[in-house]
């Protein structure tokens, strides 16, 4: 048994033993659970995938004379400014009014992180205290006040794999799905994924310090559509979409290596977000959880055309093999989330901790672990 | 020596023409089949690299045309802007010839130019816009 405070002491003294969630698998194989749990202090995880529910708050600073912005555009992408005078929120999936889905909120965020100038245009009705009616200028990360990513739903614990039984090609947020079960796509870093390594949210909670977009960020809240009541395997991992996290971090300190704008053909704009979460090895149970392998975790295969209820569960080992069997057919699989960069994140976080630059945090509050499932939106009369 | 990449379209009634063997025997061409979808009583497609003496290649193209078989030459090539790639794998979902694959060790994207049909599907499926067709 170790406490987070004890582990932090070891981190400060640069004595902490840190491994990634892939490395721990071999270590447990080699040394056994008991020995590995004694030796290892922290296991790092990582994920880098498209996460639509992302966006950035900005405070532009006040011009003279002042303006209470009511409608705001950044590089022709509408930003929400139904907030105080010069605050706005640009959502990742918002599209340019000139270029459509060729450029969107995610691109504004990436350009901002890259230090580029961004055109700001805002309108107002003018008030006694904020008389200005419109403003046209450029902003960048050096001349605004705060700019932070606040992503209401990132880091999905698991997500259904997608296929298409219809006779038409489908353009979806799960990529291009070829007709007649032409392919299967999936999006996870699997055994390296943060919430797959702490499936029952023992250590990851509100206030947890994390790697976000290349800098330190925090878990702010349960993510939207957080659904811990999903069916689970004996090892605690869910069989389809389950837990999610709302995360927050300073956009000015992020890097576009870990925050990238993306376009899913004929679907829309989204943002690849890089997240890494350290898991303290409090005891043997936590170690067993982080030693989970792709063959021990599964997801559900969904027919995006809605024609067939496939009822197929696939392990991530099978999905990663490149081929799956659907009704006797050999169907190729493709990932949508980058394992290569997820590994980079887990190993960067490992270095930060090993070098004493990143301390672990005790969750301020646990994530909810309720049984009730999600509501759907009913269409009701008045 | 001339090498071309060609996509050949067989109408239903020409599917029985022994085209490949003729290209090899009569025109002394090297034929490297990249993709073939041919079955009886259906239209078919064959994608291949043809290599040989320049005159023989031109004569072979004329011969294909005379048989009432259609073809299209690939003049473009696929450019992968690797430095901008995040290696997500979305392009591999649509690549019909497995020219784009993921390394199962490093999980980097790998591009085998020889297998590329220059179909362009990946240029749209890539979420980062790092694939393009160039002349």
**A59, two tokens:** 């405070």
**A290, two tokens:** 């982080």
Residue A98 lies in a domain: yes
Last residue of a domain, one of A144, A163, A185: A144
Residues A140-160: b if buried by 16+ CB within 10 A, e if exposed: ebeebeebbbbbbbbbbbbbb
Q: Are residues A74 and A15 in the same domain?
A: no
Catalytic (active site) residue A129: yes
Q: Are residues A133 and A282 in the same domain?
A: no
Strands (E), chain B: 2-10, 30-37, 44-52, 70-73, 77-80, 100-102, 109-111, 131-134
Q: Are residues A46 and A89 in the same domain?
A: no
A to B CB pairs, distance under 8 Å: 74
Q: What percent of chain B has pLDDT over 90?
A: 72
Residue A372 lies in a domain: no
Q: Are residues A199 and A348 in the same domain?
A: yes
**A10, two tokens:** 């070891």
Interface check for A271 against chain B (CB to CB < 8 A): the answer is: no
Contact: B106, A185; criterion CB under 8 Å: no
Q: A130 to chain B nearest CA, in Å?
A: 41
Residue A379 lies in a domain: no
Interface check for B87 against chain A (CB to CB < 8 A): the answer is: yes
Q: Are residues A73 and A12 in the same domain?
A: no
Residue A231 lies in a domain: yes
Contact: A49, B88; criterion CB under 8 Å: yes
**B42-73 confidence digits (pLDDT tens):** 888 999 999 999 999 999 999 999 999 999 99
Residue A93: left if φ>0, alpha if ψ -120 to 50, beta else—which one?
alpha
Residue A255 lies in a domain: yes
Q: Are residues A98 and A155 in the same domain?
A: no
**A316-354 confidence digits (pLDDT tens):** 999 999 999 999 999 999 999 999 999 999 999 999 999
pLDDT for A41: 98
β pairing state of A209-212 and A215-222 = antiparallel
Q: Are residues A326 and A224 in the same domain?
A: yes
Q: A76 Cβ partners below 8 Å, 6+ apart?
A: A96, A97, A98, A99, A103, A119
This complex has an ipTM of 0.95
Last residue of a domain, one of A144, A169, A200: A144
Query: Residue A117 sits in which domain range?
Result: 61-144
Contact: B89, A343; criterion CB under 8 Å: no
Total number of domains in chain A: 2
Q: Are residues A186 and A47 in the same domain?
A: yes
pTM summary value: 0.91
Name the residue of chain B whose CA is nearest to A270's CA: B127
Residue A374 lies in a domain: no
Residue A93 lies in a domain: yes
**A86-143 confidence digits (pLDDT tens):** 999 999 999 999 999 999 999 999 999 999 999 999 999 999 999 999 999 999 999 9
Residue A377 lies in a domain: no
Q: Are A41 and A281 in contact (CB under 8 A)?
A: yes
Contact: A262, B89; criterion CB under 8 Å: no
Last residue of a domain, one of A97, A128, A144: A144
Q: Write down the catalytic residue from A1, A5, A129, A379.
A: A129
How many beta carbons lie within 10 A of that of residue A9, not counting itself? 13
Identify which of A175, A177, A340 has the shortest CB distance to residue B108: A340
Q: Are residues A135 and A158 in the same domain?
A: no
């Amino acid at each position: 048994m170790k406490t987070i405070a004890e582990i932090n002491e070891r981190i400060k003294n640069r004595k902490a033993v840190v491994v990634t969630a892939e490395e721990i698998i071999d270590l447990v194989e080699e040394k056994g659970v008991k020995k590995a749990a004694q030796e290892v202090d922290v296991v790092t995880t990582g994920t880098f995938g498209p996460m639509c529910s992302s966006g950035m708050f900005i405070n532009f600073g006040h011009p003279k004379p002042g303006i209470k912005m009511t409608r705001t555009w950044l590089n022709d992408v509408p930003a929400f400014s139904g907030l105080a005078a010069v605050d706005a929120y640009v959502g990742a999936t918002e599209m340019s009014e000139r270029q459509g889905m060729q450029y969107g909120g995610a691109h504004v965020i990436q350009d901002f992180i890259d230090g580029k100038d961004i055109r700001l245009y805002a309108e107002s009705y003018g008030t006694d205290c904020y008389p200005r009616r419109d403003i046209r200028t450029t902003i960048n990360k050096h001349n605004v006040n705060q700019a932070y990513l606040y992503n209401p739903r990132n880091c999905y614990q698991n997500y259904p794999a997608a296929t298409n039984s219809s006779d038409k090609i489908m353009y979806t947020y799960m990529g291009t799905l070829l007709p007649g079960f032409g392919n299967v796509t999936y999006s996870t870093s699997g055994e390296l994924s943060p919430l797959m390594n702490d499936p029952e949210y023992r250590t990851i909670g509100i206030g947890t310090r994390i790697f976000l977009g290349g800098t330190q960020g925090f878990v702010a809240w349960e993510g939207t559509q957080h659904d811990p009541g999903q069916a689970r395997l004996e090892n605690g991992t869910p069989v389809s979409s389950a837990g999610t996290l709302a995360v927050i971090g300073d956009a000015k300190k992020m890097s576009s290596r870990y925050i990238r704008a993306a376009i899913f053909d004929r679907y829309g704009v989204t943002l690849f977000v890089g997240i890494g979460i350290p898991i303290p090895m409090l005891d043997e149970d936590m170690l067993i959880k982080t030693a989970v392998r792709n063959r021990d975790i599964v997801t559900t295969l969904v027919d995006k055309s809605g024609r067939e209820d496939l009822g197929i569960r696939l392990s991530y080992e099978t999905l990663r093999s490149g081929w799956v069997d659907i009704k006797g057919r050999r169907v190729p699989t493709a990932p949508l989330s980058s394992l290569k960069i997820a590994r980079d994140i887990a190993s960067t976080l490992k270095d930060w901790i090993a070098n004493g630059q990143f301390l672990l945090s005790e969750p301020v509050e646990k994530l909810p672990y309720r049984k009730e499932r999600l509501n759907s939106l009913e269409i009701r009369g008045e | 020596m001339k090498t071309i990449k060609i996509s050949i379209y067989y109408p239903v009634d020409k599917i029985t023409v022994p085209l490949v063997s003729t290209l090899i025997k009569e025109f002394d061409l090297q034929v490297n089949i990249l993709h073939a979808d041919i079955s009886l009583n259906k239209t078919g497609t064959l994608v291949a690299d043809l290599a040989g003496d320049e005159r023989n290649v031109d004569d072979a193209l004329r011969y294909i045309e005379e048989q009432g078989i259609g073809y299209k030459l690939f003049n473009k090539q696929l450019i992968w802007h690797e430095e901008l790639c995040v290696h997500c794998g979305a392009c591999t979902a649509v690549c019909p010839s497995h020219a784009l694959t993921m390394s199962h060790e490093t999980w980097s994207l790998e591009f085998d130019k020889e297998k590329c049909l220059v179909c362009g599907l990946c240029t749209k499926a890539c979420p980062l816009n790092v694939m393009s067709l160039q002349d």
